Amino acid sequence: MPLLARVVLILLLAINAALAAPDGEKQIGLIGEGRYEELANQYESLLQAPKASAADLHGLCYAYHKIKNYERLSLCLDRLEQRIQQGDKEGRLFGADDLTPYAAILRSESANELGDYMRAISEAGRALDWYDREREGTQVEIDSLAALVLALSRVGDQAAAREYVKRLEKVSTGGWFSNDFKTAKSLALARSYLALGAYEQAYKALSGDFLFEASALLDRLFSGAVLTGENLWLWQDLPRQYMLGKALLESGHTEEASRRLNALAASPHIRQNGEIYWQLLYDLGRLSKRAGDLAKAANYFQSAVEVIEQHRQHIDTEVNKIGFAADRQVVYADLVDALFRLGRYPEMLEYVERAKARALVDLLARKWRAAPPEKLEKTAVEQFSRISRLEEQSRRQMQSRNAPANDSSGAVKQARQALFQTDPMFASLIAIYGVDAGRIRQGLRSDETLLEYFARGDDLYVLVVDRDGVQAVKLDGDGLTGLVGNFRRAVAARAPDVEAMARRLYDRLLRPVEGTLRQRLTLVPHGPLHYLSFAALHDGHAWLMEKHSLRVLPSADVDALLRARPERAVGATLILANPDTGVAANDLQHADVEARGIAGLLPNARVLSRRAASETALRAQAGSASYIHLASHGKFRSAEPLKSFLLLAPDAANDGVLSVDDIYGLRLDADLVALSACDTGLGQGSPGDDLVGFVRGFFYSGARSLLASYWSVDDAATAELMQSFYANLGRLGKAEALRQAQREVAQTRPAPYYWAAFYLAGLGE
């Protein structure tokens, strides 16, 4: 808008802020001042108001987007689009006559942040199509083009991204002295250039917007100092200042970047801008690291992690949680590296555990807020509800403009500890209490070493934990994903070079810590190591399983929780074998033989096969069994981890598809669940995430240990291994029984394909 008109608008906004402004104008004032948390708190009742206007809902949705409350944003956008479909389309922000494309843009921008780039492309394309059809709303064209550039750059389509940048560069913003959309365009171009790594261009796009600087000066002269003391253009100024600092940092102008970013950090408003705050803290940490102050860098990285984890609580799907965490793993990785360099290994262990996205369990936490599982004690439900309220209060206080920089969260910590005392496994699963390196260490046996791996790109660390302390070693992670994949394929093909490949992996993963290894090994994998059978690694003299008993944990802190469960007297054994699924291809030829062979080795064994091996039978009888053996097919669904399933026989009561979600609803008290099925130990591995699959489901339902497989196994070899395992189980612990069974099978079937598929998760005794 012309400069004089902008002066008038600044004065009007200042007067409205000083007086009792109407709701619509008040919303605009709060947004202009960057007071998004305050706006969200004041207007959250609109989500339940049947007659809330589209204009008011748009302002509320915009606030949720800025503070990164993704769950509320999704609900708000649903309500907004409902009002638009009812004919209420007019908005106030950006001078919108039709809010249809603005809802799509907000969905696209949030999808970009959650790592759902195809959804981001689809929604931004929908908004751009609207603009091309209606030919109005320059802000729509600008924002949809910027969202498309970001999403396309993230999926690697740089050519298409650059084409949209060219169009964005040509967007008309009015005359030379007009500022209708100049600032919006400069911000969008800067975001686009940063996404493409064109840092100098990003800086030029922002620094060339001199009319914004003039407007900011007028704001300070006419409104800030005179009437309100607030900057009415912070909603644009904060991201602008951050991107200027970011462009300087990435292009090597460290001193100027430091000056700008530190000044921005001193702003009392910065905490309310969720999309900037964690990035600002992270970049300040990077600057400190470059300056050689690792301790200060670690403090900044830790603060960034706290903000990220606050945001993650408000994401509504497990897929989005994975995407959100994957995009921010660099913060955890740099923090882990700083703590490693500082020699602060116990802290390093705690943040390695926290670095896991834990998408599945976060989803369950959200689900349980609405409907806690029946098996939870009433006290645990009440404590969980109290924690949720306290965390929300703490979040709002942290984002308040007047909150101190180091807010105390003592009440939240006390409530978390109380829940942990009531139901430690539930507390672990919903990831609401802190990881304690001391508790992990004290739970290990005197002859046991725990190895926890952390992988990020070519960086690979291993934490060596035993009763004596925590140490860490940096390993060679170059090309690790390819090595593990090639090894798995070689094992499946029974290739002649399997042993040589097993040696190379041993040299990478275990040789540097070989002198610290005790007889019992507990492994906490990460990244590609989730798919590696450590038992099949070779030190040049023997397979690893010949020297060590092995067990695997999804995270180190789960061990103490499993041990905390009271032991019970050995009860019955329930065996479900070769269920009749109605599909001949699912029949397991050797499963019946396997079932009969192990039934005589276990107490009070009951064998159910074919039609009797039903989901209904499992639900009815599994609760009283000490040992549960399931010889059936398993299938993992990467897009919907909770819908991964085991196939059992269907009947009138149940369809026979036992999903991970169903498993969480079982009531077990089992010392061991054995899944003699295909790929039951696998799941969806993603950056930072612990493996999402069957393991935690069975742990939560009441199993202390789980026997699962890395690959589709030979029926006959599996039957032989299982019989040997159960025969040894009576006199040995579970981990040692599996080791002896693998050794026995290896005598007649030496290829690792036949004996290395199965692993033990959970307790090894």
- What burial class does residue 515 get, using C-beta atoms within 10 Å of its C-beta: 0-12 exposed, 13-18 middle, 19+ buried? exposed
Mean pLDDT for the stretch of residues 686-698: 57
Average pLDDT over residues 547-566: 82
Q: What CA–CA distance (Å, rounded) separates 123 from 111?
A: 9
Which residues fall within 8 angstroms of residue 328, CB to CB, at 6 or more apart?
A: 278, 308
Backbone angles phi, psi at 141, to 5 degrees: -60, -45
**DSSP character for 635?**
E
**Residue 375 pLDDT grade (very low, low, confident, very high; cuts 50, 70, 90):** low
Residues 194-206 as b/e (b if ≥16 CB within 10 A, e otherwise) read bbbebbebbbebb
Cβ proximity of 695 and 681 under 8 Å: yes
In terms of DSSP bridges, do strands 705-709 and 672-675 run parallel, antiparallel, or are they unpaired?
parallel
> Which residues on neighbouring strands pair with residue 759, listed in sequence order?
708
Residue 588 CA to residue 609 CA, distance in Å, equals 11
- Average per-residue pLDDT for the chain: 81
DSSP strand pairing (672-675 vs 625-631)? parallel
- C-alpha 150: how far from chain center: 20
* pLDDT at position 376: 59
Domains with residue ranges and CATH for the chain:
34-171 (1.25.40), 438-559 (3.30.420), 568-762 (3.40.50.1460)
**pTM given for the model:** 0.79
Residue 136: C-alpha distances to residues 96, 166, 168, 221 (Å): 9, 20, 15, 34
**Residue in the block written with tokens 């790592």:** 115
**What is the pLDDT at residue 289?**
95
Check pLDDT > 70 for residue 698.
yes
Q: How far is CA 189 from the centre of its chain?
A: 29
Q: Pick from 580, 579, 574: which is nearest to 621 by CA?
A: 574
The answer to whether residues 548 and 516 touch, using CB atoms and an 8 Å cutoff, is no
Q: Is 739:684 a contact under the CB 8 Å cutoff? A: no
pLDDT of amino acid 735: 95
Strand partners, 460: 455, 475
> How remote is the C-alpha of 363 from its chain's centroid?
10
CA angle 103, 107, 112 (to 5 degrees): 150
**Would you say residue 38 has pLDDT above 70?**
yes
The predicted pLDDT at position 149 comes to: 94
CA dihedral 492, 497, 498, 501 (to 10 degrees): -130
Residue with the bigger pLDDT between 589 and 326: it is 589
At 389 the pLDDT is 67
Q: Can you tell me the distance from the alpha carbon of 223 to that of 14, in angstroms, rounded to the nearest whole number?
A: 6
pLDDT at 730: 78
What is the rounded average pLDDT of the residues 150-175?
Answer: 90
Q: How far is CA 425 from CA 41, 57, 313, 436, in A?
A: 33, 40, 19, 15
**Averaged pLDDT, 248-276:** 87
699 pLDDT tier (thresholds 50, 70, 90): confident
pLDDT above 70 covers a percentage of the chain that reads: 76
Residue 73's pLDDT band (cuts 50, 70, 90): very high
State mean pLDDT over 287-304: 96
Q: And the tokens for 205?
A: 């796009």
Predicted confidence (pLDDT) at residue 385 exceeds the cutoff of 80: no
Neighbours of 165 (CB within 10 A): 24
Which range of 378-392, 492-506, 568-582, 586-600 scores highest in mean pLDDT? It is 492-506
Helix (H) or strand (E) holding 673, with range, is: strand 672-675
Q: What is the pLDDT of residue 515?
A: 94
Q: In angstroms, how far is CA 197 from the centroid of its own chain?
A: 25
How far from 289 is each of 254, 257, 406, 474, 501, CA to CA, in Å?
12, 14, 22, 18, 37
User: How much is the pLDDT for 689?
Assistant: 39
- Distance in angstroms between the alpha carbons of the first and the last residue of the chain: 74
Q: Is 518 exposed, middle or buried (0-12, 13-18, 19+ CB in 10 A)?
A: middle
Please report, for residues 464, 552, 688, the alpha-carbon distance to residue 471 in angstroms, rounded to integers and kept in the order given.
5, 19, 21
173-177, 227-231, 365-369, 731-735: segment of lowest average pLDDT: 227-231
